[in-house]
Amino acid sequence: MSVTDHTAPWLLMVFSLPAKRASQRVEIWRKLKRSGTLPLRSSGHILPNTPTNQERLEWLAGLIRSYKGEASVVHVHSFDDLPDGRLRQLFIGARSKAYQQLLSELTKISNMRMDKRPPGRLNRLRKRFQEIAEIDFFGSPLRKRTETMLARADGQEARSSIPGLKAAKYHNRIWITRPRPGIDRVSSAWLIRKYIDPAARFTFADSPTDHPDAVPFDMFCCEGFGHRGEDCSFETLRKEFGIREGRVRRIAQMIHDADLGDGKFGRTEGIGLDRVLNGWARQDWTDDELLLRGMELIAGLYEGLGKE
């Protein structure tokens, strides 16, 4: 999060709550901590002056007043005992400590055998990273290192989720699907290249017999990876190759509801993506361009889900 220039570079929040409001005091303290405030030893909590931070503190001040307390949010030009440079270093130090704790957890999980890793642990660590990054106002040097370790752990899960023989069989292949790819096909192509065959090449035809050596997906035939039972092609690929990551599971639900329109999962996010793809398909774009842009769209969705 970047800090913009303001006449007063800092926000200071001071408050008090009645002594009998112990539980509310703990609640407010936790919310201040999640907001990334720097507590002063004397009194008050500091944040860089940004519109988002001001909104956060004003909301907290309103909450405190609703608990019969008093609160003020003050624009501060400077602190006589804390130069701006020192304040920035204190913020960086607080975030670096949080990143260091996260790195320690990531190191532990990366050194575990895949079958010994607690379910959902990596997703929780990824969510924690996003929470820290959101309040990393001045760019801790440990942020990039943490991102790199998260990506490495993601790669370990991705590689381990595919049985070795199956992965080898579908490595460096040509994959074939129908022309004018829509939501199910572009998301399936993204899944194939990210988790199954990083060197995958894609071609288009109405019948798989046009390319007998290619692997069919989402085609009207009895072979390959298409709709099976109540599953769309994306779900078929995910299940067939044992891809268990939480974000992929959520994307599968979105693609299912957008492609089949049965509202099975109550996920409406994919409907908007489907309309974008349909709009692109009406333009003078090649199938390759449609597939590439659609895969980029799904890649963006995947990254965005890391903030949930």
Instruction: Check if the beta carbon of residue 91 is closer than 8 Å to that of residue 97.
Output: no
The structural domains of the chain, with segments of one domain joined by +, span 10-76, 90-160, 164-307
- What is the rounded average pLDDT of the residues 96-122? 85
CB neighbour list of residue 165: distance below 8 Å, 6 or more residues apart: none
Q: Which residue has the higher pLDDT, 117 or 11?
A: 11
Structure confidence at residue 42 (pLDDT): 77
pLDDT for residue 270: 87
- In percent, the amount of the chain with pLDDT more than 90 equals 59
How sure is the predictor about 88, in pLDDT bands with cuts at 50, 70 and 90? very high
Q: Output the pTM of the full model.
A: 0.54
By CB neighbour count within 10 A (0-12 exposed, 13-18 middle, 19+ buried), where does 282 fall? Answer: exposed
Of 29, 3, 109, 24, the C-alpha closest to 69 is 24
Give residues with Cβ within 8 angstroms of 235, minimum separation 6: 228, 252, 255, 256
The b-or-e profile of 137-151 (16+ CB within 10 A means b, else e) is bebbebbeebeebbe
- What is the reported pLDDT for 166? 57
Cβ neighbours for 247, distance < 8 A, ≥ 6 positions apart: 123, 302, 305, 306
Of the pLDDT bands very low, low, confident and very high (cuts 50, 70, 90), residue 242 is: confident
Query: Does the structure show a pLDDT above 60 at 98?
Result: yes
The H-or-E segment that residue 18 falls in is none
Q: What's the rounded mean pLDDT across residues 292-302?
A: 93
Q: The tokens 């760019």 sit on which residue? A: 139
Query: Average per-residue pLDDT in the chain?
Result: 88
Average pLDDT of 90-117?
89
Partners of 48 in the β-ladder: 10
**Residue 114 in this model has a pLDDT that exceeds 80:** no
Burial group, residue 134, by CB count within 10 angstroms (0-12, 13-18, 19+): middle
pLDDT digits (tens, 9 = 90+) for 138-182: 999 999 999 888 877 776 665 555 555 456 788 889 999 999 999
DSSP state of 136: -
Regarding predicted confidence, which is higher, 255 or 307? 255
Mean pLDDT in residue range 26-31? 93
pLDDT of 227 > 70? The answer is yes
Averaged pLDDT for residues 290-300: 93
According to the model, what pLDDT value does residue 165 have? 47
Lowest mean pLDDT among 127-136, 221-230, 237-246: 221-230
What pLDDT is attached to residue 157? 62
Q: For the sheet containing 10-16, what is the strand order?
A: 38-39, 45-48, 10-16, 70-76
**The pLDDT of residue 188:** 97
Percent of the chain with pLDDT over 70: 90
pLDDT value, residue 155 = 67
Cα 149 from Cα 151, distance rounded (Å):
5
Whole-number pLDDT of residue 5: 45
Distance (Å, rounded) from C-alpha 308 to C-alpha 304? Answer: 8
How does 95-106 read in b/e, with b if 16+ C-beta sit within 10 Å?
A: bbebbeebbeeb
- Does the domain formed by 10-76 have CATH 3.30.70.240? yes
What pLDDT shows up at residue 307?
A: 47
What are the start-end ranges of the H helices in the chain? 22-34, 51-66, 84-110, 121-134, 142-160, 164-169, 183-191, 233-240, 246-260, 269-281, 287-304
